[in-house]
Structure 1
Amino acid sequence: MAEWKQRLTEYLSYIGDNPIMHAFVIILASLVLAWILDKVVIAWVKRMTGKTEAEFDDQFVELLHKPLFYSILVFGISVAASIIKFPAEIGDVIFPIFYTILLVMWTMFALKVTKMVLQRMAGNQQHFHILHAQTLPLFENLALILIIALSVYYIFSSWDIDMSAWLASAGIVGIAVGFAAKDTLANLFSGVFIMADAPYKIKDYIVLETGERGAVTNIGLRSTRILTRDNIEVTVPNSVMGNTKVINESGGPSTKYRIRAQVGAAYGSDIDLIEQILLKIAKEEKELCSYPEPVVRFRMFGASSLDFELMGWITEPANRGRILHHVNSAIYKAFAENNIEIPYAKQDVYIKEFPGVPTDKSSQSKPIEANLESEKTMPKESS
């Protein structure tokens, strides 16, 4: 550094020994160099990048020229100020001001370029699986904190302020805050992992282990919000979401969801006719997908019925209840039109005697029979 200043002084000695004149020449030279770099070199680079299809290089050059121009200018001003040899009280103020200006300018440049790079990486999910639209705000905030922290550290260092005491105090405060807000920190870290792992995303239809079912409306750092079919918003802490079983009905390669309509037919029914009726109902239901095609399965021989299942695909899991209602209604009507019995449980109850009524031996040989109906499908029982 000393040799560089000595050579510069030798070159400036050709125009006299006046320090103010030397400072003026240095400032003028830095201004000319900055102008040439901005109007010639950067302009040429812009023309070269304009021929490419990518937009990132054009935006990068556009952001670079301004801090580069002022960096050369501020560097020349700082060199000129050192030649004039201001008193120490003034120099200790002027030079940190120059360095602070440069650091602020380059910090703004770094923030903008980092945001551009992260957005570009988020758009290419084939190579960057962790970084996507949902996790992009998280990475942008982390980059913002890191860049600003480094910038503040170097700005304080340029003013000869010792940061070790500040860092030690921050460590102690961080430990105290960690113990006091452990639940909040657990939610925070769980939110980071949820955003990175992406088991679900906004607008996905999920079912929690506790039974709540609804669409994800927000994934925050502290909690996840779900809007149920009853139009009730459920807020679940991320620490709970990270440690529970979550069924994502919208997951997979598409949002299609398969519904199942189960129905029983009496023994002796025509199973081929039942299959034809169920497939016809599936084809006539407009909200069932034609691909994959609906299918009918004869599942099992039940206790009192032949159990069938009609399976079809819908585009959105949220429509499951409404479409299943239409399908079940159509099945009931079609079975009634074709005289296909849907069996239900029957129980025969034999009453031997009533409490408080004298027993008649002749009546014991002729028990009273009553038929009762229940909802569950059960075989006939005698008691």
Structure 2
Amino acid sequence: MASWLIYKTLLKNASPTRHRNLRILFLNLIAHLSIFASFFAIYAIVQKTVESSPDSLSERLISYFGLLTLISGAIVFVKACRILLFEYLFIGHMKEGVPVLLVNLFTLILSIGIGAWIANDVFGIRLTPILATSAIFSLVLGLALQDTLGNLFAGVALQLDKPFEIDDWIEVMQSGQKWVGQVQEITWRATTLTGLFDEHLIIPNRVISQAEIANFTSPNRPIWRSQTFRIPLGPHLEEIRLLLKEAMFEIKAIRQEPAPVINIPETTESWALFRCSYTIDDYGKQWSIGTEVSASIIRKLYECGHTIAAQRIHLVRDPESRFESKTV
């Protein structure tokens, strides 16, 4: 009931995907709640039957249905806590994605705790001697699962440090290798990225935790990009600089603050190099934005009677050569 009230009051502005996921979780919870209610009703009926006319079969049935009721109730409790944790994470990350790793880890720990309580208090199984005698088995199991556990703890560390979140564009660099993509999911073993060409990159969490990470989605740090254009050298360099800036202001994907910067870092006897620097918000659209910048600048230059500098190759004759040289 508490999770439903939170969903209806605090998560009205959640995205359609989150509404769909929460509805699926609620439907799953209702299904298990129905199973729990059925077992509980059967348990109550059998118990009344035993009280009126006790027999060995009824006493055995009441034990079985009591155990099924307890287990189904524990499952309902775990699923309700899972929904509450999802809602808490959704409230704190209304725009960013929520990794499922922490939710799955919480569900596992809670399930193990409830299972241990049932084994100890209901069945009378003492877990301390079992844990003490299984030290060697635990050591062997730990060595066998060394990589898996390393990825698991690395994933948890990434969630606590938060160098990136779901939907962030990141660059991972380690040992000369580089992966660039948008974070889609963080699981027990690996982090899944979607690359610039929609390819899926699955990187183990241990690799990411030991690598250099560049995050391009920080809201306080816009993404700077630059393109260069060679313009024929002439007396109208300032006019051309203003034309280039005007052409970039026409592109909606370019941020107005900070404003685009145009400078001339290099000149020769025939052309001047204009560097156009600008900022964008979406790292994944940098190539399409770059294409828009080139098309807009070239169109603006030709509309105003200017052109891009043509390449010139000047061949000088070698005095020691027997062949005649030409100038193109």
Same fold (TM over 0.5): yes
Deviation at 1:351, TM superposition (A): 0.6
Amino acid at match of 1:199: P
CA distance in 1, matches of 2:163, 2:182: 14
CA distance in 2, matches of 1:290, 1:252: 12
Task: Report the counterpart of residue 319 of structure 1 in structure 2.
Answer: 285
C-alpha contact 1:115 1:140 (8 A) present in aligned 2: yes
Give 2:124's match in structure 1, choosing from 160, 165, 173.
Answer: 160
CA distance in 1, matches of 2:263, 2:97: 44
Q: Is 1:134 the equivalent of 2:101?
A: no
Q: Is 1:203 the equivalent of 2:167?
A: yes
Amino acid at match of 1:276: L
Deviation at 1:273, TM superposition (A): 0.7
Q: Is 1:288 the equivalent of 2:253?
A: yes
CA distance in 2, matches of 1:166, 1:267: 85
Say which SS state the counterpart of residue 92 (structure 2) adopts.
coil
Say which SS state the counterpart of residue 352 (structure 1) adopts.
coil
Task: Report the counterpart of residue 108 of structure 2 in structure 1.
Answer: 145
Deviation at 1:190, TM superposition (A): 1.7
Aligned length: 288
C-alpha contact 1:289 1:312 (8 A) present in aligned 2: yes
Deviation at 1:371, TM superposition (A): 4.2
Select the structure with the greater relative contact order (CA < 8 A; seq sep ≥ 6).
2
Task: Report the counterpart of residue 209 of structure 2 in structure 1.
Answer: 242
C-alpha contact 1:110 1:147 (8 A) present in aligned 2: no
CA distance in 1, matches of 2:184, 2:65: 48
Deviation at 1:221, TM superposition (A): 1.8
CA distance in 2, matches of 1:134, 1:160: 39
Q: Encode CA deviations 1:173-228: one digit per residue, 9 max, x unaligned.
A: 33212212322222222222233333333433333323433333333221223333
Amino acid at match of 1:300: P
Instruction: Spell out the pairing of 1:82-161 with structure 2 (5 A cutoff).
Output: 100=67, 103-104=70-71, 107-108=74-75, 110-125=77-92, 134-135=98-99, 137-157=100-120, 158-161=122-125
Q: Flag the 1:107–1:248 CA change in 2: closer, same or farther, 3 A.
A: same
CA distance in 2, matches of 1:151, 1:293: 55
Deviation at 1:369, TM superposition (A): 5.4
C-alpha contact 2:249 2:256 (8 A) present in aligned 1: no
Say which SS state the counterpart of residue 172 (structure 1) adopts.
helix
CA distance in 2, matches of 1:145, 1:290: 45
Instruction: Spell out the pairing of 1:243-258 with structure 2 (5 A cutoff).
Output: 243-252=210-219, 257-258=223-224
Instruction: Spell out the pairing of 1:62-73 with structure 2 (5 A cutoff).
Output: none
Q: Flag the 1:318–1:236 CA change in 2: closer, same or farther, 3 A.
A: same
Task: Report the counterpart of residue 15 of structure 2 in structure 1.
Answer: none
Q: Encode CA deviations 1:34-70: one digit per residue, 9 max, x unaligned.
A: xxxxxxxxxxxx9xxx9xx9689xx9xx99xx99xx7
Give 1:178's match in structure 2, choosing from 138, 142, 145.
Answer: 142
Task: Report the counterpart of residue 277 of structure 1 in structure 2.
Answer: 243
Runs (5+) with no aligned partner, structure 2: 12-25
Please tell me the root mean square deviation across aligned C-alpha atoms, in Å: 4.6
Q: Flag the 1:166–1:302 CA change in 2: closer, same or farther, 3 A.
A: farther
Q: Is 1:220 the equivalent of 2:187?
A: yes
Task: Report the counterpart of residue 23 of structure 2 in structure 1.
Answer: none
Say which SS state the counterpart of residue 212 (structure 1) adopts.
strand
Task: Report the counterpart of residue 190 of structure 1 in structure 2.
Answer: 154
Task: Report the counterpart of residue 229 of structure 1 in structure 2.
Answer: 196
CA distance in 2, matches of 1:170, 1:94: 34
Deviation at 1:113, TM superposition (A): 4.3
Amino acid at match of 1:338: G
Instruction: Spell out the pairing of 1:38-77 with structure 2 (5 A cutoff).
Output: none
CA distance in 2, matches of 1:314, 1:143: 38
| Greater Rg by CA | 1
Deviation at 1:278, TM superposition (A): 0.4
**TM-score, with length taken from structure 1:** 0.58
Q: Is 1:259 the equivalent of 2:222?
A: no
Q: Encode CA deviations 1:337-356: one digit per residue, 9 max, x unaligned.
A: 5345637575553311236x
**TM-score, with length taken from structure 2:** 0.66
Amino acid at match of 2:172: L
Say which SS state the counterpart of residue 276 (structure 2) adopts.
strand
Deviation at 1:293, TM superposition (A): 6.5
Runs (5+) with no aligned partner, structure 1: 1-45, 127-131, 358-367, 373-383
Say which SS state the counterpart of residue 221 (structure 1) adopts.
coil
Say which SS state the counterpart of residue 226 (structure 1) adopts.
strand
Q: Is 1:353 the equivalent of 2:317?
A: no
Deviation at 1:239, TM superposition (A): 1.3
Say which SS state the counterpart of residue 291 (structure 1) adopts.
coil
Q: Is 1:342 the equivalent of 2:309?
A: yes
Percent of pairs identical after alignment?
Answer: 17
